[in-house]
Amino acid sequence: MACVSGLVASLAGAGKFKEAEVLGRQALCDAERLGQHHRCTIQALTSLAALMQASGDGQEAEQLLRRALACSEAALTRAHPGTLNILSGLASQLALAGKQVEAEPLLWEAVERKETVLGPAHPDTLHAVSSLAAHLMATGRRPAVEPLLRRALEGSEQELGPEHPVTLAMQNNLAVMLQRMNKQGQAEPLLRKAAAGSQQVFGEAHPTTLRACGNLATLLREEGKHGEAEQLLRRAIDSSAAGACAVGIHLDLQAELTELRNLLTMSPDKQRSVNLQAVPMPFLVGFGRLGCCDCSRRPGQPVDCGERPPPLSHGITIDSTSPLGGSPRTSAAPSPVATLRELDGLRKPSMVL
């Protein structure tokens, strides 16, 4: 099953979605012979859901995730790390589909349960925190977002280190949120650290590095630092053309450079009126989790299908360290959920573990 899932991911990464879908559906059929609640069936469901999401069929991805969640819950209990990963994936898919009312209690549940089972600074917990933060941002509760992501970043730096892929993604996502709250001065050093760290860890041509550089360029041009922004974009475009970069990222960078050139032809007053936004980095590079729930993507921007190497980008996979999910881990890091409980006016559905 692991080999088949890897092949499906490779085909999808090459843009061969039809071939990947045929193989993925056949793998699910074969796995179902072992039983509806068998771990291979659950793996096949989540892999096919990731494929459907990457190819733009969010409706079927949602149906597959609902089924996978029910099977995993029956086989492993609701609180099992593998079940919680699927729960996070379903919550993020619901949010992407605009079903915020249904998504929110699941996002809260994923954070609380992962915090209890895995610890506040575990990568899976931080992924859930990032998705919840994006949802809160998209639904207008901005005061809650900054302390939530700052605590999560602090825990990631302490537990995983400043150059860990999770920490780099947290730096980027906090910076994006700060930029959207017009705190560019606080966002810039974080984006610089994320871009420099991504380049050192992944290399110049890696999609994660290119996205981080694109976000930094967006911020720089917003601050009027057009020369540095253009230089950064040109270097990123050259790297994306030379490497095996996703077409979507290359086109995004080209569009950013075109917008910058257009901006330079405007008057200073007109330049200041242009609304620019960076994009949250797909979360947990190399962990195969569902990407950060970006409920406020640019209008018309599709779900990126090539932000990360296999497993499928924005897909849900089962952690390879155990049959169905990550191992519990204790941590002394502060609780992200406790941070939110301290904020006035923010309420959430109650949950019993």
Residue 249 to residue 245: CA distance in whole angstroms: 7
What is residue 310's predicted lDDT score, i.e. its pLDDT?
Answer: 27
Residue 105 to residue 139: CA distance in whole angstroms: 14
Does this model's pTM top 0.75? My answer is no
Residue 106 to residue 110: CA distance in whole angstroms: 6
Residue 44 to residue 33: CA distance in whole angstroms: 12
What is residue 281's predicted lDDT score, i.e. its pLDDT?
Answer: 43
Q: What is the CATH number of the domain that holds 173?
A: 1.25.40.10
Residue 229 structural domain:
166-281
At residue 72's C-alpha, the angle toward residues 66 and 74, to 5°, is 105
Assess if residue 274 is contained within a domain.
Answer: yes
Residue 199 to residue 195: CA distance in whole angstroms: 6
Assess if residue 228 is contained within a domain.
Answer: yes
Per-residue confidence of the chain (353 residues) as pLDDT tens digits?
A: 566 777 777 777 677 888 888 999 999 999 999 999 999 999 999 999 999 988 889 999 999 999 999 999 999 999 999 999 999 999 999 998 999 999 999 999 999 999 999 988 888 888 888 889 888 888 888 888 888 899 889 888 988 899 898 899 889 889 988 888 889 999 999 999 999 999 899 888 887 888 888 889 888 888 888 888 888 888 877 777 665 444 555 566 566 566 656 655 655 555 555 444 444 443 332 222 323 333 333 323 332 323 332 222 233 333 333 334 444 444 444 454 554 444 433 333 322 22
Assess if residue 206 is contained within a domain.
Answer: yes
What is residue 284's predicted lDDT score, i.e. its pLDDT?
Answer: 31
What is the DSSP code (8-state) at residue 204? T
What is residue 226's predicted lDDT score, i.e. its pLDDT?
Answer: 84
Q: Are 47 and 288 in contact (CB under 8 A)?
A: no
What is residue 256's predicted lDDT score, i.e. its pLDDT?
Answer: 58
Assess if residue 203 is contained within a domain.
Answer: yes
Nearest in space to 130 (alpha carbons), one of 295, 278, 288: 295
Assess if residue 92 is contained within a domain.
Answer: no
Residue 90 to residue 110: CA distance in whole angstroms: 10
Assess if residue 82 is contained within a domain.
Answer: no
Nearest in space to 76 (alpha carbons), one of 127, 117, 130: 117
Assess if residue 12 is contained within a domain.
Answer: no
Packing angle between helix 207-222 and helix 226-242, nearest 10 degrees? Answer: 160
Total number of domains in the chain: 1
Q: What sign results for the dihedral spanned by CA atoms 250, 254, 259, 260?
A: positive
Assess if residue 229 is contained within a domain.
Answer: yes
